[in-house]
Amino acid sequence: MSAPEPGEPSWGRSHALAIDHALAVAYPEAWCELRYSNPYELLVATILSAQCTDARVNQVTPALFARYPDPATLAAADPKELEELIRPTGFFRNKARALVGMARAIAERFAGRVPATMEELTSLPGVGRKTANVILGTAFGIAAGIVVDTHVARLSRRLGLTRQSDPEGIEGDLQELFPPSSWILLAHRLIIHGRRVCTARRPACDSCPLSHLCPRLGVAEATIPPTSAGRRRR
């Protein structure tokens, strides 16, 4: 079976679950690379990670969390002081506004606690569905959806899991293909694989643990026993 052409349906559930298994074997300890100790810190770090590497964010957050240890202190932050602390992450003015707005909303509407539902999280300034999925899955262990960042989007298309281009469309396809029990770790593993092996410009196909499943290399659709590939609902 040849790889689907753009515009054709992606490969099916058996192929997806084979990929899920291969990722689990290759990256059994995969987890978020942002450093945090509570949901508030993860939320701040995730907002800062937009258009910035996790490594750079991790260099900035120790001083930031020491200065603003909770939403109340961040809500009262002096904008200029906050901007200087987060300047190395880029787009620091926009990020500072988003952080202060998020913190004020949490302090005023949620009694200082980061909410744990998609609807409440996405009502916060600077928080979209991707960020909300990060917080729900990583901080609270709630599989409400699948994080779709640039790595997940790129790999999902390369691996024949979707033909969508927008994040919500990709997320919907992935939710159809993978069981909810896989959603949280699937994103972490795809992100690490995208950073270490299946990079945007020069993927290391010769050393890729998913090479036997990759349409890019001309392989046929993977199959697994039917008992493991029942249809999943979102």
Catalytic annotation, residues: 130, 149
What φ, ψ does residue 188 adopt, rounded to 5°?
-60, -40
13/34 Cα distance (integer angstroms): 31
| Whole-angstrom Cα Rg for the chain | 19
Helices (H), 141-200: 150-158, 167-177, 183-196
Give the side-chain half-sphere CA count within 13 A for 25.
Answer: 9
Which residue's entry shows tokens 């609902």?
A: 233
What φ, ψ does residue 112 adopt, rounded to 5°?
80, 5
Region of 11 (left: φ > 0; alpha: ψ -120 to 50; beta: rest) is beta
Q: What does the H/E/C string look like for 95-143?
A: HHHHHHHHHHHHHHHCCCCCCCCHHHHCCCCCCCHHHHHHHHHHHHCCC
By the 8 A CB rule, do 74 and 100 touch? yes
